[in-house]
A and B are shown apart, each in its own frame.
Chain A
């Protein structure tokens, strides 16, 4: 998802017998849906896994601004431009809420930023794909934000208080994102033959990368088992992917667009669609850094950070000078 393949302790879920009294009390609170707050005792693995997960989620919000920011200056109307700008600004806010939640776990903002810039920490694979034309803005809002919502809605109930509160704020804003995307798709799909073609092409290119956002099947993963027990993951990747497909197919039908999957078929027995898996080889290759835009995305983030250094330093120097003057006057 926005956080994909987050590693946990790797040791699997401890049985009650293996838990220390503190660990058992901690697990009891989680089982009773009592939120864990930053100053509460927590296992080191819980803290570290959460930093990885929330950090990766935050990085995705920030890097996710790039493919859409790419189209702000070229939006077809002033209204579309204002809407897209507001959406991209929201994503900056999402990154901020999440970084703040991670910071309550004892990591600094700059540490997280440097880990992104050096490539030590990842962001969602989806943002390593290019946005080639205006229809992609529709497809991204509809499918990418749509997939993000699938994952973020259950995370509002996650066990860590600051993460849960950040998710609640984010979810309030996300439905605007998805709707503005679908609205673009509707205009294109009901437009001229050429516009309709663009819409279909955008769907064709975005569909499988969107399915990859949920990550590979984790039904046998020890990392996911631990995260599920700690309620920092609420559903398995396959469950979320299935829900996403079931919700999206009728929306595509309404647009008169075709989902690029010959195997897509309603399955009465399971009450959901059967569908093709994305190419997981491609996914792992993108995660390793070989997607079409990995290099560009990291270069853009590094440039923004480096170019902004004098502003950060200058404002801090100014604040310190004023504070010193104030103390001297007192």
Chain B
């Protein structure tokens, strides 16, 4: 069995000015081919205007078991949301 092509994660920016979004992954020998293959697989129906590819091994991810300590602190900080404040209607749009 010969060696397998590395795995690439594919990010596509759509037409409406949103950020690149992860759409999936694929195998390719190098970045150039990864972009070509991503074009063929992930933009078959006008899904994209721009493609980023990153070799999967270069992505570092947070640990799912750290979920508590990582995200709980923000749960109690309701004042970070605009709806926390009661602004009188008379003030108008704000």
Contact = CB atoms under 8 A, between A and B. Distances in A.
Interface of A: 37, 39-41, 86, 89-90, 93, 96-97, 100, 103, 108-110, 114, 165-166, 169, 309, 312-313, 315-316, 318-319, 322-323
A312 B2 CA distance: 8
A319 B63 CA distance: 32
B30 A37 contact: no
A322 B33 CA distance: 13
Nearest to B26: A96
Nearest to A110: B4
Contact of A37 (B25, B41, B64): B64
A315 B27 CA distance: 12
A93 B2 contact: no
A109 B27 contact: yes
B4 A108 contact: yes
B1 A316 contact: no
B84 interface: no
Contact of B41 (A40, A96, A109, A312): A96
Interface of B: 1-5, 7, 24-27, 29-30, 33, 41, 44, 61, 63-65
Contacts of B27: 109
Contact of A97 (B2, B7, B24, B61): B24
Contacts of A93: 41, 44
B29 A318 contact: yes
Contact of B4 (A86, A109, A166, A315): A109
A110 B1 contact: yes
Contact of A322 (B2, B30, B65): B30
Given A39-B63, A93-B41, A169 B24 contact: yes
Nearest to A37: B64
Given A39-B61, A110-B1, A89 B29 contact: no
Contacts of A108: 4
Nearest to B32: A319
A109 B27 CA distance: 9
B35 to A, nearest CB: 13
A93 B61 CA distance: 26
Contacts of A322: 30
A220 B82 CA distance: 54
Given A109-B4, A110-B4, A318-B30, 6 more contacts: A39-B61, A41-B65, A100-B7, A100-B25, A103-B7, A315-B29
B29 A316 contact: yes
